[in-house]
Homo-oligomer: A and B are copies of this chain.
């Protein structure tokens, strides 16, 4: 996974455990594609200070993931759900029962909003 995608997911997952300032700067850098200089100007701090805050924030996010593993678990769940959705399609192909088709559609909906 690319680093910016990974940091974005980690910000979504653990962002509330960071300080507001840390989260803003990480999001500006990784989601909004602002440069260190632009963030430094907006925040009225030095580029080096921005760099330090990003590094510290990243380390905290990695530490949370190492301890709680929510991103890893969610990605695994998404993969398992894709497998189940494929298997449901196989069942659909094997039956012409309308009620079964309805139940299958319902299960698919539920699976799609599970994670």
Interface residues of A in 52-75 (CB under 8 A from B): 64, 67-68, 70
Interface extent on A, as a size class? 20 to 34
Q: Contact check, B94 vs A110: say whether CB atoms are below 8 A apart.
A: no
Q: Contact check, B110 vs A83: say whether CB atoms are below 8 A apart.
A: yes
Q: Which one of A24-32, A37-45, A99-107 is at the B interface?
A: A99-107
Q: Contact check, B95 vs A107: say whether CB atoms are below 8 A apart.
A: no
Q: Contact check, A90 vs B103: say whether CB atoms are below 8 A apart.
A: yes
**A88 interfacial by beta-carbon distance below 8 Å:** yes
Q: Contact check, B68 vs A16: say whether CB atoms are below 8 A apart.
A: yes
Q: Contact check, A80 vs B110: say whether CB atoms are below 8 A apart.
A: yes
Known: A70-B70, A87-B103; 11 extra A-B contacts, CB below 8 A, are: A14-B68, A16-B67, A16-B68, A17-B64, A17-B68, A77-B115, A81-B114, A84-B107, A84-B110, A90-B103, A91-B91
